[in-house]
Amino acid sequence: MTALAGQIAEIWTLYVIGTAMIAVRIFCRTKMVGYRIYDWDDSLVIAVAGMWTAAPVIGQVFVQGAEGRHTSDLSEEDRKKWAYGSQMFLLGLTGYVVILWTLKFNMLCFYSRVVRGLWTERFVKPLMIGIALSVVVIIIITLAATCRPFHHLWQVWPDPGCHCVPQNLTFFVVILVFNLVTDICIMLIPIPVLVGIQTNRLKKFGLFLLFGLGFFCMFAAILRFVLIFNASAKPRWLHLS
């Protein structure tokens, strides 16, 4: 198996795993309440399923059509292909942010039911507004303002400068910071419910473990950031992360 074929296999394997998890979530929720009384988080999961399907398509186009290349390490050959790879990378990066923040909204909608009637309920709506604003900051302001004019992000020649590359440090730092801050805020909401729940220690530990999966997401976000920029420092092509 070639390196490109391996990347494509990885993309679609992750897609299948993610789709299976989404399908289980939709099935269980429908079994419990029926589709006629879906809440906001149920509708958001279905929307995520559509966006999640678009993600591997973009990934395959990036890997197969552009051979996984972009303008972070350029020669004067194959300029159109390399510029196209940068466009696909930016599209994939934007899709990643949209999917991630939609899932954050999903969790907040779910938690709004869990903490209904408790004092932490008052923080749910402000967090939703904060997450919406953070998406605007990340996608519109950061992506649009860091490199001017915007099309220099996929310009091959002349060199547009260090701020006009898809692996721009500013993009990923902003995404990482907002990602970690919103995850911490979301994880704090159900704590009063978990602390006050009347059950045995084993079940309570299981609930804390379940709701504490956000720590794993935070670790994964930090690890992703480190791996991307360790790879960017090496003179080799990067695949869509």
Find the largest Cα–Cα distance for the chain.
67
pLDDT at 3: 65
pLDDT at 240: 40
63 touches 7 (CB < 8 A): yes
pLDDT at 44: 83
Query: What CA–CA distance (Å, rounded) separates 110 from 98?
Result: 18
The amino acid at residue 80 is K
Residues sharing a CB contact under 8 Å with residue 106, sequence separation 6 or more, in sequence order: 41, 44, 45, 48
pLDDT at 235: 43
> Pseudo-torsion of CA 70, 72, 77, 78, nearest 10°?
10
What is the token pair recorded at 180? 């970690």
Q: Is 103 exposed, middle or buried (0-12, 13-18, 19+ CB in 10 A)?
A: middle
pLDDT at 238: 41
| Backbone conformation region of residue 79, classed left if phi is above 0, alpha if psi is from -120 to 50, else beta | alpha
pLDDT at 85: 80
pLDDT at 76: 61
Whether the model clears a pTM of 0.85, i.e. scores above it, the answer is no
The amino acid at residue 116 is R
Collapsing DSSP to helix, strand or coil, 147 comes out as coil
pLDDT at 236: 41
Q: Is 69 exposed, middle or buried (0-12, 13-18, 19+ CB in 10 A)?
A: buried
pLDDT at 231: 57
Collapsing DSSP to helix, strand or coil, 199 comes out as coil
Query: Phi and psi dihedrals of 48, rounded to 5?
Result: -60, -35
Whose tokens are 């958001």? That residue is 44
Query: What CA–CA distance (Å, rounded) separates 211 from 188?
Result: 10
How far out from the chain centre does Cα 10 lie? 17
Task: State the 10-residue block means of pLDDT for the chain, 241 residues long.
Answer: 73 88 85 78 84 85 65 61 81 86 85 79 83 78 83 78 79 87 84 75 75 79 80 46 41
The amino acid at residue 78 is D
Residues sharing a CB contact under 8 Å with residue 131, sequence separation 6 or more, in sequence order: 101, 104, 105, 108, 182
